[in-house]
């Protein structure tokens, strides 16, 4: 019986996630063929060109921080791991099954009485992020557990009730802003323990009354965040998939309007709200809702075309899943600095921002492995950041060697797969008017030889430029070849196509 129930649950969850959340982004998006009337569509143009949005486009690398009560258990309780009982470390409140501690939810909901991070130093975090090369950061003001890290007037379940008492959101916003890092606030609509919250569409009078109260509370909190922290650049919304929220499209449309009016230039991703037909992220005509695509979570698009010209961010965990602190990193694959650099370059080469998540512990310290990765990424970015910041997708054939990015007349090849013959061969369309003419290694400034190799493959639309990597050049990680482009000095031969 139990196993049948489990199978049904898994199947239902699978359906929900495959259709609504995952399936939609793991391949090319199919644009609707017939036009649908949409009244509650996007409130902003598809490609905003204001200064804030241009800054967003140029960030390249960001930092996500998931911090809240879940940092105290760190994915375990009294020596028992929650790995088999909860979906992720920040979801530990949902721990169920044979490994779950007795009265666990009650224990969790009382953790705030112990939240007293003695080592928390927002300035230290901000300095680390700066050294890593992050240009923006996203901070969890309130996750699904509903606990607010700022002294909100609209709920008693907030930081002032903890022994720590002080406004953590303010400390974070101030410290990062002082380092020149733009701040975005993560905000979960969904709340697990709010008696006014419900996940299905409110039907009865009582449900409607409660949910209306919940909507008002959400609005109050958001306006409060804007009033308290006017420096923020945007919101990163989450927990917006429940039917209650989906059906409240009239309210959410007006709320977005109000937030934007209160805070000109505000950036909001596609996860905030849906149209009146229940379409999330993209409206019924396939038009993006909000300023950038916010669905690339622990996954990356394979093809540039899939993005349809939209701005986007990819948010990534170091462990396979788990955004909040996890004490124990053993027995799971945790991404290496090289893995993350590959994902970073993959992302920026397709015009996205790569946002790496950190989950500090209950005292406010990063996991030692996170410290190590931040340092290694920073060391790499100091040398190669030019290939990451302010660059665009290069409209050239893909290369197996790594990733191409471009800024004006500079073309960057970040080499992950160094060829055994040390010849980095770049395919350029024969008709191109700009081709690589000069090349240097970003790591040491060494000038590299560039040769035109018109290899003449039948029916090939490309010609080739070879950059010679010095055989004695040693690289511990991916390295960047910076090329300057100019008019081709030699023409590509027009060869006769073979007759068959």
Binding span for ligand JFZ by CB under 6 A among 54-62, 86-94, 176-184, 369-377: 86-94
* Nearer CB in complex with ligand JFZ: 367/477: 367
What's the CA gap between 53 and 267, in Å, rounded?
A: 7
In the bound complex, what is the minimum distance in angstroms from residue 293's beta carbon to ligand JFZ? Answer: 11
Q: Which stretch binds ligand JFZ (CB under 6 A): 83-91, 390-398, 462-470, 488-496?
A: 83-91
Cα–Cα distance for residue pair 377/392, rounded to 1 Å: 21
Listing DSSP states for 340-377 in one string gives HHHHHHHHHHTTEEEEEEE---TTSPPPHHHHHHHHHH
Cβ closest to ligand JFZ, residue 138 vs residue 469: 138
If binding is defined by CB under 6 A, does position 92 make contact with ligand JFZ? no
Q: Is 297 in the site for ligand JFZ (CB under 6 A)?
A: yes
Q: Which is nearer to ligand JFZ, 88 or 387 (CB)?
A: 88
Rg from Cα positions in the chain: 25
Closer by beta carbon to ligand JFZ, 17 or else 333: 17
Nearer to ligand JFZ, 19 or 446 (CB): 19
| Cβ at position 18, least distance to ligand JFZ in Å | 10
Q: Shortest approach of ligand JFZ to residue 56 CB, angstroms?
A: 18
- Return the number of the residue (36 or 321) whose C-beta is nearest ligand JFZ: 321
Residue nearest to ligand JFZ (CB): 21
Nearer to ligand JFZ, 91 or 465 (CB): 91
- Binding to ligand JFZ by CB under 6 A, coded x per residue (else -) over 200-239, reads --------------------------------------x-
From 364, 344, 341, 342, select the one nearest 352 (Cα to Cα). 344
Site pattern 140..179 for ligand JFZ (x: CB under 6 A): ----------------------------------------
Phi and psi dihedrals of 76, rounded to 5?
-155, 160
Nearest-approach distance from CB 422 to ligand JFZ, in angstroms: 41
26 vs 52 by CB, closer to ligand JFZ: 26
DSSP β-bridge partners for residue 435? 486
CB of 97 to ligand JFZ, least distance (A): 19
Nearer to ligand JFZ, 314 or 439 (CB): 314
Cα torsion at 384, 390, 394, 395 (round to 10°)? 180
Tell me if 90 contacts ligand JFZ by CB under 6 A: yes
Cα distance between residue 151 and residue 429, in whole Å: 58
Q: How far are the Cα atoms of 211, 259, 299, 445 from residue 21, in angstroms, in the given order?
A: 24, 25, 12, 45
Of 278, 276, 279, 307, nearest to 294 (Cα)? 307
In angstroms, what is the minimal distance from the CB of 106 to ligand JFZ?
21
CA dist 83 and 332 (Å) reads: 10
Q: How far is the CB of 142 from ligand JFZ (least distance, A)?
A: 11
**Helix H or strand E encompassing 316:** strand 312-316
What does the CA dihedral 418, 420, 423, 424 come to, rounded to 10 degrees?
A: -20
For ligand JFZ, give the closer residue by CB, 90 or 342. 90
| Residue in 280, 278, 306, 281 with CA at minimum distance from that of residue 291 | 281
* Side-chain-side CA neighbours of residue 110 (13 Å): 5
| CA proximity to 345, closest of 393, 277, 397 | 393
- Using CB under 6 A, which residues numbered 405 to 424 contact ligand JFZ? none
DSSP H helices, 235-311, are 243-246, 249-262
Residues 442-471 that bind ligand JFZ (CB under 6 A): none
Q: Is 88 in the site for ligand JFZ (CB under 6 A)?
A: yes
Residue 51 near residue 345 (C-beta atoms within 8 A): no
For ligand JFZ, the closer CB: 88 or 439:
88
Sequential DSSP letters for 266-305: -EEBTTS-B-TT--BSB-TTS-BSSSBEEEEES---S-GG
Paired tokens of 366: 């990063």
Residue window 311-330: x/- pattern of binding to ligand JFZ, with contact defined by CB under 6 A: ----x-------x-------
Report the interface residues with ligand JFZ, using CB under 6 A: 21-22, 88, 90-91, 238, 295, 297, 315, 323
């Amino acid at each position: 019986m139990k196993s049948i129930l489990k199978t049904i649950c898994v199947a239902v969850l699978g359906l929900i996630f495959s259709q609504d959340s995952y399936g939609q982004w793991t391949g090319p998006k199919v644009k609707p063929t017939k036009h649908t009337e949409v009244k509650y569509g996007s409130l902003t143009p598809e490609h905003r060109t204001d200064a804030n949005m241009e800054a967003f486009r140029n960030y390249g690398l960001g930092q996500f921080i998931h911090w809240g009560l879940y940092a105290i258990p760190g994915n375990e309780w009294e020596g028992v791991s929650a790995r088999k009982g909860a979906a992720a470390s920040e979801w530990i409140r949902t721990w169920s099954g044979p490994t779950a501690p007795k009265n666990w939810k009650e224990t969790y909901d009382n953790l705030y009485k112990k939240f007293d991070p003695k080592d928390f130093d927002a300035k230290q975090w901000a300095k680390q992020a700066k050294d890593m090369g992050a240009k923006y950061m996203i901070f969890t003001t309130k996750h699904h557990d509903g606990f607010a890290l700022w002294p909100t007037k609209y709920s008693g379940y907030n930081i002032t009730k903890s022994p720590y008492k002080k406004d953590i959101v303010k400390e974070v916003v101030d410290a990062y802003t002082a380092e020149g890092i733009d701040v975005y606030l993560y905000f979960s609509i969904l709340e697990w323990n709010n008696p006014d919250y419900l996940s299905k569409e409110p039907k009865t009078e009582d449900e409607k009354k409660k949910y209306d109260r919940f909507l008002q509370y959400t609005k109050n909190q958001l306006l409060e965040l804007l009033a308290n922290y006017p420096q923020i650049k945007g919101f990163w919304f989450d927990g917006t998939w429940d039917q209650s929220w989906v059906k409240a499209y009239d309210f959410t449309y007006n709320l977005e309007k109000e937030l934007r009016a209160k805070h000109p230039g505000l950036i909001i991703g596609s996860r905030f709200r849906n149209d009146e037909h229940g379409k999330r992220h993209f409206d019924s005509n396939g038009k993006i809702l909000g300023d950038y695509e916010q669905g690339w979570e622990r996954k990356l698009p394979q093809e540039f075309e899939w993005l349809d010209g939209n701005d986007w961010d990819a948010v990534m965990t170091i462990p396979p899943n788990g955004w909040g602190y996890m004490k124990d990193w053993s027995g799971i694959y945790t991404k290496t600095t090289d893995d993350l650099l590959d994902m970073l370059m993959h992302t920026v080469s397709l015009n996205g921002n790569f946002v790496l998540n950190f989950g500090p512990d209950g005292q406010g310290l990063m996991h030692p492995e996170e410290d190590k990765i931040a340092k290694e990424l920073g060391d790499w970015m100091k040398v190669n950041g030019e290939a990451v910041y302010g660059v665009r997708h290069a409209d050239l054939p893909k290369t197996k060697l790594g990733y191409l990015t471009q800024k004006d007349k500079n073309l960057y090849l970040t080499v992950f797969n160094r060829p055994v013959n040390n010849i980095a061969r770049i395919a350029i369309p024969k008709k191109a008017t700009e081709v690589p003419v000069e090349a240097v290694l970003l790591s040491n400034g060494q000038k590299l030889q560039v040769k035109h190799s018109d290899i003449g493959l039948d029916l090939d639309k490309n010609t080739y430029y070879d950059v010679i990597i010095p055989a004695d050049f040693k690289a511990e990680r991916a390295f960047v070849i910076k090329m300057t482009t100019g008019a081709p000095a030699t023409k590509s031969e027009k060869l006769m196509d073979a007759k068959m």
